Amino acid sequence: MAIERILKDDASEEKGERARTASFVGAIAITDLVKTTLGPKGMDKILQSTGRGQEVTVTNDGATILKSLHIDNPAAKVLIDISKVQDDEVGDGTTSVVVLAGELLREAEKLVAAKIHPMTIISGYRIAAECARNALLQRVVDNKENAEKFKSDLMKIAKTTLSSKILSQDKEHFAQLAVDAVMRLKGSTNLEAIQIIKKPGGSLKDSFLDEGFILDKKIGLGQPKRIENAKILVANTAMDTDKVKIYGARVRVDSMSKVAEIEGAEKEKMREKVQKIIAHGINCFVNRQLIYNFPEELFADAGVLAIEHADFDGIERLALVTGGEIASTFDNPESVKLGHCKLIEEIMIGEDKLIHFSGVEMGQACTIVLRGASHHMLDEAERSLHDALCVLSQTVNDTRVVLGGGWPEMVMAKAVDELARQTPGKKSHAIEAFSRSLVAIPTIIADNAGLDSADLVAQLRAEHHKEGCNAGIDVISGSVGDMAELGISESFKVKQAVLLSATEAAEMILRVDEIITCAPRKREDRM
C-alpha cells in the first residue's frame, strides 16, 4: 500500500533532524559570511548587483550586506530579518546581532547532538539572556545629569561606532560632526532634520557640518544671487500650465484666432497667479513642481528668487527649518506663514553650485556635506555616518552607556557562567553554551584583527575575574587594555537590542522541527 503524496509535486518537506540541520547550516553560513566584518579591523565586502549596470557597493555594514543577498534557506532569512529590524530600531549593531544569533545556534547544534531537547536549550537560553541583561544593567554608566560628561560619552560612542567603518581614519572629525548634529536636535530622534549631501571630490577630511540648510538646486536666470533677510514662500503648485482639474475638460476651438485668445487667457491667468504670489511680500519662492520660463521671467522682473523642482523631502525640510508652511493656494496672503532666514546665497562646493540658507529660524536642522574621492566611498561614508547618527540619537534618549571592545560580552559571560554553575538539570548546559557564544564575539574581533584570539580572550577572562574590571580588547595595540581609559563606549540600548533579538531569533529557529517548502510560484512566460 503506497502512501500517496500529500503535497504538491514540487513542494518538499524536511523533518526532524534533517530540518534542524538545514536551519543550522543556513544560519551558520550567514554568520560566517558577515563575521569577518566585525570590529575595527573587520574587512569590507564588495556587492555586485544583478540589475542593470551591475552596480558595485563596498560596505561593511551588516544590514546592507544581508539586504542585498538572495537567500533561499528559510532559517537564514530569519537572521536577515533581525538584522533589518536592528537597523530600523537602533541603527547599529546589525552585524553583532547576526553573529551572536549564529553563535548561539552553533552552540545549540552541539547540544542537540549531545541529545538535549531543543525545548530545554530554549528555556536555558531564556534564563541566560535575562541574567546577562541584568548583569549588564548593573554595570551601566548614566551621565544624564552631567552635560559635560555626557557629551564626552557621546563622543566616545561615535568614535567607537565609526572606528569599524571606512571613516575610521578621520573618526575624530566625523565623531565631532555627528555629535554636533545630534546635539542640535535637542532630544528628538527625527533624523530627517539632518540632511546629508554627498559631493564627490576633495577628501573625506573636507566634509563639514553646516548650520544652515543647503538645497542642491540652481537659482533661476537673471535673479538675485544673494538675498539678505529673506522671506520665503514654500509652495507645492503647478507653475507650468496650471491644468483645469475638473474632470473631462478639454479645449476645442474652431479657429486660429480663438487659440490665440485662449493662450492669452492662460498667460493672463499665470500672470495673475505670479502677482498673487509676489503680493505675499516675499523675495524667495521655492516650488516643488516645475516653473516654466514665463513665470520665471516674471519672478526675475520682480526681483524674486525662484527655485523650481525642489524634491519632496527638500521642501518639507525647508518648510521645517524656515518655519514656513507649504502653500498651494495664494488667495489670502495675510494668513500664510512665510519662512524666514538671514541670508540666501549661492555657494560652490567642488564644481557644483548649491543654494545655501543660513540663519534659519529652527536651530534643529543642519546639513552635513560629505566629500570624498568616489561615489562608493561617499555611499559607504553616508551609511557609516547614518549608523553613528542613529546610535547617538538613541543614546540621547536612553542615556545609559556601557564600555565597548568586548567588555560587555565578557561581563555578561561571567554572570551567565556563574548562573550555570548554580542551575541544576540539563538547562545548565544550555546556559553554559550561552556564555560561550557571548565570548565568541571578542574572539572574532581579535581574530579579525589578526591577533592571537585564544591567548587574548584567556587573558581577558582572567582580568574579568577581578571585581569592577574595565578590561577589553585593544585592537590597535593588540593587547588587553582598560576600555574606560581608551574611551571606547557603546550605547546600552544597542547592546540590549542585540542580546534580546539574537536570543529571540535563535529560539525561533530552534523551535522548528519541520520545514515545508511550497512549490515555487510559476512565473508566467511573458512573450
Partner 1 sequence: MALAFDEYGRPFIILKEQDQKTRLRGLEAQKANISAGKAVARILRTSLGPKGMDKMLQSPDGDVTITNDGATILEQMDVDNQIAKLMVELSRSQDYEIGDGTTGVVVMAGALLEQAEHLLERGIHPIRIAEGYEMASRMAVEHLDHIAQKFDFGPTNIEPLVQTCMTTLSSKIVNRCKRPLAEISVKAVLSVADLERKDVNLDLIKVEGKVGGKLEDTELIYGITVDKDMSHPQMPKQIQDAKIAILTCPFEPPKPKTKHKVDIDTVEKFQTLRQQEQKYFDDMVQKCKDVGATLVICQWGFDDEANHLLMHRNLPAVRWVGGVELELIAIATGGRIVPRFQELTPEKLGRAGLVREKSFGTTKDKMLYIEHCANSRAVTIFIRGGNKMMIEETKRSIHDALCVARNLIRNNSIVYGGGSAEISCSIAVEAAADKYPGVEQYAIRAFADALDSVPMALAENSGLQPIETLSAVKSQQIKENNPHFGIDCNDVGTNDMREQNVFETLIGKQQQILLATQVVKMILKIDDVISPSDY
What residues from 372 to 411 belong to the interface with partner 1 (CB under 8 A)? 390, 393-394
Helices (H), 279-370: 293-301, 312-322
Distance in Å, CB of 521 to partner 1, minimum: 4
Q: Which is nearer to partner 1, 386 or 414 (CB)?
A: 386
Q: Which three cell numbers stand for residue 374?
A: 568616489
Distance in Å, CB of 198 to partner 1, minimum: 20
Among 25, 58, 85, 302, binds partner 1 (CB under 8 A): 85
Residues near 454 by beta carbon (within 8 Å), at least 6 away in sequence:
443
Instruction: State the Cα–Cα distance between residues 75 and 80, nearest whole angstrom.
Output: 9
Among 57, 95, 160, 322, which one carries the catalytic annotation? 95
Is 61 designated active site? yes
Q: Is residue 431 close enough to count as binding partner 1 by CB under 8 A? A: no
* CB environment 20-53: b (16+ within 10 A), e (fewer): bebbbebbbebbebbbbbbbbbbebbeeeeeeee
Cβ-contact 43, 168 below 8 angstroms? no
Q: Which is nearer to partner 1, 88 or 311 (CB)?
A: 88
Stretch that binds partner 1, among 113-121, 141-149, 178-186, 403-411 (CB under 8 A): 113-121
Q: Which is nearer to partner 1, 423 or 448 (CB)?
A: 423
Residues near 20 by beta carbon (within 8 Å), at least 6 away in sequence:
112, 118, 512, 513
Q: Is residue 521 close enough to count as binding partner 1 by CB under 8 A? A: yes
Helix (H, G, I), strand (E, B) or coil at 230: strand
Instruction: State the Cα–Cα distance between residues 232 and 210, nearest whole angstrom.
Output: 20
Distance in Å, CB of 225 to partner 1, minimum: 29
Among 206, 316, 398, 418, binds partner 1 (CB under 8 A): 316
Pairing verdict, β 479-482 and 471-474 = antiparallel
Among 59, 94, 160, 367, which one carries the catalytic annotation? 94
Stretch that binds partner 1, among 118-126, 213-221, 355-363, 450-458 (CB under 8 A): 118-126
Q: Which three cell numbers stand for residue 510?
A: 530552534
Q: Which is nearer to partner 1, 349 or 412 (CB)?
A: 412
Among 51, 53, 468, 520, binds partner 1 (CB under 8 A): 520
Is 513 designated active site? no
Q: Is residue 421 close enough to count as binding partner 1 by CB under 8 A? A: no
Nearest in space to 364 (alpha carbons), one of 159, 187, 141, 500:
187
Among 145, 148, 254, 334, binds partner 1 (CB under 8 A): 254
State the amino acid at position 80 in one-letter form: I
CA dihedral sign, ordered 72, 76, 78, 81 = negative
Instruction: State the Cα–Cα distance between residues 301 and 315, nearest whole angstrom.
Output: 24
What residues from 224 to 243 belong to the interface with partner 1 (CB under 8 A)? 236-237
The answer for 40, left when phi > 0, alpha when psi is -120 to 50, beta otherwise, is alpha
Q: What angle do CA 502, 508, 511 make, to 5 degrees?
A: 135
Among 28, 65, 75, 449, binds partner 1 (CB under 8 A): 75
Is 387 designated active site? yes
Helices (H), 90-170: 94-113, 118-138, 147-163
Q: Is residue 328 close enough to count as binding partner 1 by CB under 8 A? A: yes
Distance in Å, CB of 427 to partner 1, minimum: 11
Q: Is residue 21 close enough to count as binding partner 1 by CB under 8 A? A: no
Q: Which is nearer to partner 1, 172 or 261 (CB)?
A: 261
Q: Is residue 179 close enough to count as binding partner 1 by CB under 8 A? A: no
Stretch that binds partner 1, among 155-163, 293-301, 320-328, 348-356 (CB under 8 A): 320-328
Among 190, 203, 374, 397, binds partner 1 (CB under 8 A): 190
The answer for 324, left when phi > 0, alpha when psi is -120 to 50, beta otherwise, is beta
Is 94 designated active site? yes
Q: Is residue 361 close enough to count as binding partner 1 by CB under 8 A? A: no
Q: Which is nearer to partner 1, 53 or 248 (CB)?
A: 248
Bridge partners, 232 (sequence order): 284, 339
Among 144, 225, 269, 375, binds partner 1 (CB under 8 A): 269
Q: Is residue 511 close enough to count as binding partner 1 by CB under 8 A? A: yes
Among 210, 387, 417, 474, which one carries the catalytic annotation? 387
Cβ-contact 306, 287 below 8 angstroms? yes
Q: Which is nearer to partner 1, 190 or 275 (CB)?
A: 190
Question: Crossing angle, helix 16-35 and helix 492-510, to 10 degrees?
Answer: 150
Q: Is residue 279 close enough to count as binding partner 1 by CB under 8 A? A: no
121 to 160: interface string for partner 1, x by CB under 8 A? -----x----------------------------------
Size of the site for partner 1 (CB under 8 A): 87
Cell 511680500 locates to 281
Q: What are phi and psi of 482, to 5 degrees?
A: -85, 115
Q: Which is nearer to partner 1, 253 or 476 (CB)?
A: 253
Q: Is residue 9 close enough to count as binding partner 1 by CB under 8 A? A: yes
Bridge partners, 343 (sequence order): 228, 358
Q: DSSP labels for 450-478?
A: T--HHHHHHHHHHHHTSTT--EEEETTTT
Q: Which is nearer to partner 1, 248 or 468 (CB)?
A: 248
Instruction: State the Cα–Cα distance between residues 132 and 39, nearest whole angstrom.
Output: 21
What residues from 446 to 465 belong to the interface with partner 1 (CB under 8 A)? none
Q: Is residue 74 close enough to count as binding partner 1 by CB under 8 A? A: yes
> Which active-site residues does the annotation give?
61, 94-95, 387
